[in-house]
Amino acid sequence: MLTLIVALIVFSVLILIHEAGHLVVAKRIGVDVEAFSLGFGKRLFGIKIGGTDYRVSLLPFGGYVKMAGEDPSEASGLEGELSSKPIGHRFWVVAAGAITNYIFAFILFSIIFMIGVPTLSNKVGQVLQGYPAEEVGMEVGDEILSVNGRTIRYWEDIVDAIKNESKGEDALNIEIMRGEKTIDFRVQPKISTVTNIFGQTISRPMVGIAPQNEILSVKYNPLRAIYLGGKRLLVLTGLTYKGLWLLLTGGMPVSTSVSGPIGIANLMGQAARLGFVPLLIITAHVSMALAVFNLLPFPVLDGGHILFLSMEKLRGRPLSIKIQEIITQGALILLILFALFVSWQDVLKFTPLGKKIGNNRVQDVAQEPEK
């Protein structure tokens, strides 16, 4: 129940923020906004301000903005209609939703760094057998102080230092604190084959240590937090686009690499159980992902509308309404099929039904006679 409640609240907030972006820019350029709704379906109650019906509707998931002339087939050429505005104005109305989600993600990341971002400590929690750290005598509980003179505070500093300081055959100078004693080690990293977050096999230098399960809450001053929030957002954006490219080119399997609402809701539920900050982190990630996804040049999405606007700009006239409808309907069918596929994969991965199906498959395989 907690997962469902948290998911409804977070998704509704993010979608409303998205739609609020469309609303503000539309009003700014003089588009008549007929309705701004929290939820879908039958209107329950609301208030009319400035010609806009701000309403609460029956189904509480998300919301929408209804603008005059938004559908070209229903436009009559009036000045207050969206379709009557210049291409540049329409572009900003369409793009405003994704931009607002992106800005919201930036604000959340900045807040997270201000109130305390969860970070692994610099203490060794495991020494892997057969790796250089074991060979030189490193032990569980050792606190890494520096790598090649680079000061270490958190585990991410260790990972970054080992990656960037490993050059050719040169050993690393690793300084540790054991109890009240400081010890220096000369460690030659071992090049190992690992799987990265995209499921790709890569080679990287490793000394063979893993972190303790000790989480620190690290706070930064506002200016530093804003810088780190922006940096985190840009890094995640780059990783998201790289992941999309790998999906399109077959470098990543769709079935195991993409999650829909069910999978995301499951993550939100887990984050909520861990605390407020983990929930903020997953919310910021989802807000960024919504921005990136909505700007993809695919009909039905905001990026698809921008694609149509770009074609109108290049051609000097818009595509015919009939052609736009055919393209949009075809894209909608593909999007629905994709959503159903992803949702079914989420069911298999995250629900009791999926676990039951998985167990039945294991039993069927076990019962097959040998050939």
User: 146 pLDDT band (50/70/90 cuts)?
Assistant: very high
Average pLDDT over residues 99-128: 96
Q: What is the predicted pLDDT for the residue at 360?
A: 56
Distance CA 210, CA 338 (A): 38
96, part of any domain: no
User: SS3 breakdown of the chain: % helix, strand, coil, rounded to 5?
Assistant: 55, 25, 25
Average pLDDT over residues 237-247: 90
Residues 6 or more apart from 178 whose CB is under 8 A from it?
139, 141, 142, 143
Q: What is the predicted pLDDT for the residue at 2?
A: 79
Q: Which of 19, 74, 139, 180 is catalytic?
A: 19
CATH number of the domain at 148, please.
2.30.42.10
159, part of any domain: yes
201, part of any domain: yes
225, part of any domain: no
Coil, strand, or helix at residue 208? coil
Asked if 125 and 208 count as a contact pair (C-beta separation under 8 A), the reply is no
Taking 90 as the threshold, does the pLDDT of residue 1 lie above it?
no
169, part of any domain: yes
288, part of any domain: no
Domain that holds residue 180: 119-217
Most confident of 15-19, 194-198, 254-258, 319-323: 15-19
Q: Report which DSSP code applies to 171.
A: P
Distance CA 49, CA 216 (A): 47
Distance CA 127, CA 197 (A): 22
Q: What is the predicted pLDDT for the residue at 365?
A: 46
254, part of any domain: no
Pairing mode, strands 172-178 and 181-187: antiparallel
User: 371 pLDDT band (50/70/90 cuts)?
Assistant: very low
151, part of any domain: yes
Q: What is the predicted pLDDT for the residue at 248?
A: 84
Q: What is the mean pLDDT of the chain?
A: 88
Angle at 328 between CA 260 and CA 91, to 5 degrees: 90
Whether 180 is catalytic = no
Amino acid identity, residue 184?
A: D
Residues 6 or more apart from 132 whose CB is under 8 A from it?
187, 188, 189, 190, 207, 208
Rg of the chain taking only CA atoms, in angstroms: 26
User: What's the structural domain count of the chain?
Assistant: 1
